[in-house]
Structure 1
Amino acid sequence: MNIVLKPEYEEFIQAQMQSGKYGSVEEIIGEAIALLRERKRQIEELREKIAVGTTQIAKGQVTDGELVFARLQEKIDRIEQSEV
């Protein structure tokens, strides 16, 4: 496969090669693809969580935000007191 890159991409790749961190252009492209895959996986995971949350909201399965923050503050207070 032959790929034509924008000059700024070529410069970036050359700089990465010169840094010594990568042994080949293929290694750089491989890492870029791995990062893209991970990003897409994370986005899909977030979409699934949003769908679950939306369903829970529609069913009325929610907790008041002020209550959540109050509970978190209580936990923080307990941790701080146990450190003294």
Structure 2
Amino acid sequence: MRPLTISLSPQQLARLSRAVESGAYASNSEVVRDALRLWEQREEIRELELARLKQAYDEGKASGEPVALSADDLLARIKLKAGDGRG
């Protein structure tokens, strides 16, 4: 591994120190590595969510021309779908 110098706020440094002193982590490096793993997981989830959103957008665009609906009409369609056992 390669050493890296980082700057932390006093609050971050205190929290990191407490984590090590409590025995929750063996070292400052372990805390930082765990934080980076969590960040990586969050980024992966964000990328998956973005891909799903793009897919839903593409599916919506491919579904045909848009149809203007009032809120009442939309609610009626939702209730109709829910009542017929398909939605």
Q: Check whether TM > 0.5.
A: yes
* Structure 1 outlier segments of 4+, above 3 Å: 64-72
Paired with 1:36 and 1:55, the residues of 2 have a C-alpha distance of 28
> TM-score scaled to structure 2, two decimals?
0.68
- What's the CA shift string for 1:35-84, capped at 9, x where partnerless? 111111100000000000001111128xx755369557xxxxxxxxxxxx
Give unpaired runs (5+ residues) of structure 1. Answer: 73-84
Give unpaired runs (5+ residues) of structure 2. Answer: 65-76
Change beyond 3 A, Cα 1:22–1:71: farther
Number of aligned residues:
70
Paired with 1:26 and 1:68, the residues of 2 have a C-alpha distance of 53
Change beyond 3 A, Cα 1:12–1:58: same
Q: Which has the higher helix share?
A: 1
What's the % identity of the aligned pairs? 19
User: Quick one: which amino acid aligns to residue 41 of structure 2?
Assistant: E
Change beyond 3 A, Cα 1:53–1:2: same
> TM-score scaled to structure 1, two decimals?
0.70
RMSD: 2.4
Paired with 1:7 and 1:29, the residues of 2 have a C-alpha distance of 15
Paired with 1:22 and 1:32, the residues of 2 have a C-alpha distance of 12
Paired with 2:15 and 2:63, the residues of 1 have a C-alpha distance of 50
Q: Secondary structure at the match of 2:24?
A: coil
Q: Secondary structure at the match of 1:4?
A: coil
Greater radius of gyration (CA): 2
Identify the residue that residue 15 of structure 2 maps to in structure 1: 12
